[in-house]
Structure 1
Amino acid sequence: MSSMKAIAPYLGMIVSQLAYGGANILGKLAIERGLSYPVLIVYRHLIAMTIFGPLSYVLERNQRPPLSLSILMKIFVLTLFGATIHLNVFYLGLDYTPPTAASALSCAIPALTFTLAVLFRMEEVKIKNAKGRAKIIGALVCITGALLFTFWQGPLLLGFVKRPLFIVQGKNFGHGSKHYKDDWIKGSVLIFIANATFSVWFILQAKVYEVYPATLSMNALICFFASLQSATLALIFDRNASSWKLEWNIQLITIIYSGIVISGLSYYLQTSCISKRGPVFAAMFSPLNLVLVALFSAFFFAERLHLSSLIGAFAIISGLYMVLWGKSKDRDGKESDEELQIRFLSSSTECNPK
């Protein structure tokens, strides 16, 4: 039972990144076929809110702390960074870049989150210490692997299918499409900004959880505020009533998937992992999204994998392992310190009975 609890955060983040990989592919398909991304963001959070709302009311009614204006404002700001700004800017950037390249830019998330965590003293780094060196070197190896994966085009090695399962007629889908240089740069900048706000989201989640330790209720409020904030943006930038009309197609599948799996399951898994292991732990799994999306693209869109892809994937996984090893040593050290304190207090009580 204890071993299962120990590996649960790792499994949770892997499942979360697997879900995000699918969302990147579906989001690209849906946007290329005419889905308005502000509409997608509103609908997906409304779906998640209908799930989180009743669950949080039933399961956390005895442990949910009282809501104050201060806590509501903190959750509102948390939502603004992690859901509203991040998603709107990300989907706007995704309209200019292929999903593999968009996922590759997620390599910035661990570095940015790590830097913010150190600045806010949420992460301790000692270069003279083996675990401190492991975290720094691991983060650098992970980022280097993502850059190799993206920008080094080695020889083609293999493809899993001969013909793509999905054919997209959009202006800029896939590595083989012809991008305008300005569009590529614009998309990369937008996705980098989205990733920066996502790093802030990781840090703020840890801070908000300290004052409101109710995972389901907090996520229900996040989805509520995200739907309101994104609806305001949608009414400003997309006043076409036909954009809100839903039919049974890839757009509706994307909305349902994003609402249940991403805004529902993934939000919950991330919040749980951050509350247990901290924001850097959760952020370090982001580059896995790159590997997963590349595999999805190879299967569904017949993209060929390069030698650089395999080398980059190996570096990403190696760097991730190094950082997680350093984090595990931090946790072992804290647990041993707590055990020593308990022993000291118990021995003091025995020596000085009241």
Structure 2
Amino acid sequence: MEAGLESMGVSEAWKAHVGMALVQLFYGGYHVLTKVALNVGINQLVFCFYRDFLAFTIVAPLAFFLERRTRPPITKKLLMSFFFLGLTGIFGNQLLFLIGLSYTNPTYAAAVQPAIPVFTFLFTVIMGIEKVNLLRYEGVAKVGGTLICVSGAILMVFYRGPALIGDTEMDQVAQIKISARGQPEASRWLINGLLDLGFDNFQLGVIFLIGNCICMAAFLAIQAPLLKEYPANLSVTAYSFFFGVALMVVASLFMVNEPTDWILTQSEILAVVYAGTIASALNYGIVTWSNKILGPALVALYNPLQPAFSAFLSQIFLGTPIYLGSILGGSLIVAGLYIVTWASYKERQKSFGVTPNGSWVTEPLIHEKSAYQKIAGSSSVSSNPNSSD
């Protein structure tokens, strides 16, 4: 029986690894398609609204039927938490990403995303969810990895460097302000203010992308304790999309002035459908399922694949160049991510007293191993009537 469980665990682990690689590939495709839509001039709020509304129509019915018997009752405190999830993970996260992408390119947009786990670590430390012991080398490694990752993000803001792959003439759209149709009216004062401080358009885009990562990190940090109180994953996602869509509607009343902005072209419809079905609904489902099998440490390790896929796809379909700054800054971000992930892995390994059998690929969650060992031990004791306490 134990051999059968081990074989099943290996099979599920391999599926989860393949699934997480596909998630990063799907995100790479999302970056390219979205960049095309932004070049056409789609309004960013309109794009986010259509994307999130489509994702909500997919996730909400699934949550209603699949979790109707396990969903806890709603309280005012839970609704407030769902609101902040929608504000950070849906509204702020997606809108800042689109603004940042419009000023940069898919390669840079993807290269910043591996900073999300490190910013999440910072928020969890501030909230008391994560503990850091500076007297142990794991704690020092966590802090050091975080500083390396932040340094990489700062480097990407202030240093672009020469184009190593591709022609810079193909990236001229990154040097031009987004069109009046694509730029929300109420955000122009902030953008113009940052430009007055000496930032160019490309640096401004990276700043917005870092803001996108911070919003997503806040979303994950808020979500972690909430899922313990409200352990209905699909329902949490549905509520998050509901409040995100509601915020998009309210914001669009003040920031979308032209009725024609709501009319999409064929390429824009394709980008919205892909974003709502693949980048939102499908990717979240794969990540959630993989997280249960591999754990957050292994899931986070797949984020560095996203810049590679985005650079490859954007070079093929858009001809966008790859700059030295993106390679150097992205490398620091990836290095910091791996250091923090390794330190967290070693801490969990010591906390649960479980030593893995060698492979990251086939290893289930450490705490699940520990729990299985406890259950197996108690079952063997109870099945033997002659055993003593």
TM class by shorter chain equals: 0.7 to 0.9
Correspondences of 1:124-135 after superposition (within 5 Å): 124-135=131-142
Unaligned runs of 5+ in 1: 174-179
Higher mean Cα deviation, 19-28 or 197-206? 19-28
Contact 2:51 2:276 in 1 (8 A): yes
Contact 2:157 2:207 in 1 (8 A): no
2:62 to 49, 55, 65: 55
Contact 1:288 1:317 in 2 (8 A): no
Equivalent in the alignment of 2:74: 67
SS at match of 2:277: helix
Instruction: Read off the aligned partner of 1:47 and give its amino acid letter.
Output: L
Q: Deviations over 1:81-102 (max 9, x none)?
A: 1111222232223332233233
Q: Deviations over 1:221-257 (max 9, x none)?
A: 222221111111112210322221234x110011001
Equivalent in the alignment of 1:171: 176
Separation in 2, partners of 1:261, 1:157 = 31
Equivalent in the alignment of 2:220: 202
| 1:218 aligned onto 2:232 | no
Residues 244/308 of structure 1: CA separation in 2 closer, same or farther (3 Å cut): closer
Equivalent in the alignment of 1:90: 97
Instruction: Read off the aligned partner of 2:61 and give its amino acid letter.
Output: P
Correspondences of 1:108-257 after superposition (within 5 Å): 108-139=115-146, 171=176, 181-247=199-265, 249-257=266-274
Contact 1:49 1:223 in 2 (8 A): yes
What is the CA distance between 1:282 and its match in structure 2?
Answer: 5.5
Contact 2:118 2:340 in 1 (8 A): no
Instruction: Read off the aligned partner of 1:255 and give its amino acid letter.
Output: V
Instruction: Read off the aligned partner of 1:326 and give its amino acid letter.
Output: A
1:106 to 105, 113, 117: 113
Residues 119/6 of structure 1: CA separation in 2 closer, same or farther (3 Å cut): farther
Contact 1:146 1:312 in 2 (8 A): yes
SS at match of 2:319: coil
Instruction: Read off the aligned partner of 2:274 and give its amino acid letter.
Output: Y
Instruction: Read off the aligned partner of 1:93 and give its amino acid letter.
Output: G
Separation in 1, partners of 2:113, 2:279 = 16
Contact 1:79 1:226 in 2 (8 A): yes
SS at match of 1:62: coil
Residues 67/269 of structure 1: CA separation in 2 closer, same or farther (3 Å cut): farther
Higher mean Cα deviation, 133-142 or 69-78? 133-142
| 1:263 aligned onto 2:270 | no
Task: Count the aligned residue pairs.
Answer: 343
Contact 2:115 2:149 in 1 (8 A): no
Separation in 2, partners of 1:242, 1:153 = 36
SS at match of 2:353: helix
Separation in 2, partners of 1:294, 1:108 = 17
Separation in 1, partners of 2:280, 2:161 = 36
Separation in 2, partners of 1:307, 1:73 = 43
Contact 1:135 1:322 in 2 (8 A): yes
Separation in 2, partners of 1:138, 1:15 = 26
What is the CA distance between 1:202 and its match in structure 2?
Answer: 1.2
Q: Identity, % of aligned pairs? A: 32
What is the CA distance between 1:30 and its match in structure 2?
Answer: 0.6
Contact 2:114 2:333 in 1 (8 A): no
Separation in 1, partners of 2:248, 2:276 = 14
Contact 1:156 1:305 in 2 (8 A): yes
What is the CA distance between 1:290 and its match in structure 2?
Answer: 2.6
Unaligned runs of 5+ in 2: 1-7, 179-194, 355-369
Residues 145/273 of structure 1: CA separation in 2 closer, same or farther (3 Å cut): farther
Aligned alpha-carbon RMSD (Å): 3.9
What is the CA distance between 1:139 and its match in structure 2?
Answer: 4.7
Separation in 1, partners of 2:288, 2:219 = 10
SS at match of 1:67: coil
Separation in 2, partners of 1:240, 1:156 = 38
Separation in 2, partners of 1:169, 1:267 = 29
Equivalent in the alignment of 1:25: 32
Separation in 1, partners of 2:200, 2:331 = 31
Equivalent in the alignment of 1:3: 10
Separation in 1, partners of 2:293, 2:320 = 38
Higher mean Cα deviation, 318-327 or 193-202? 318-327
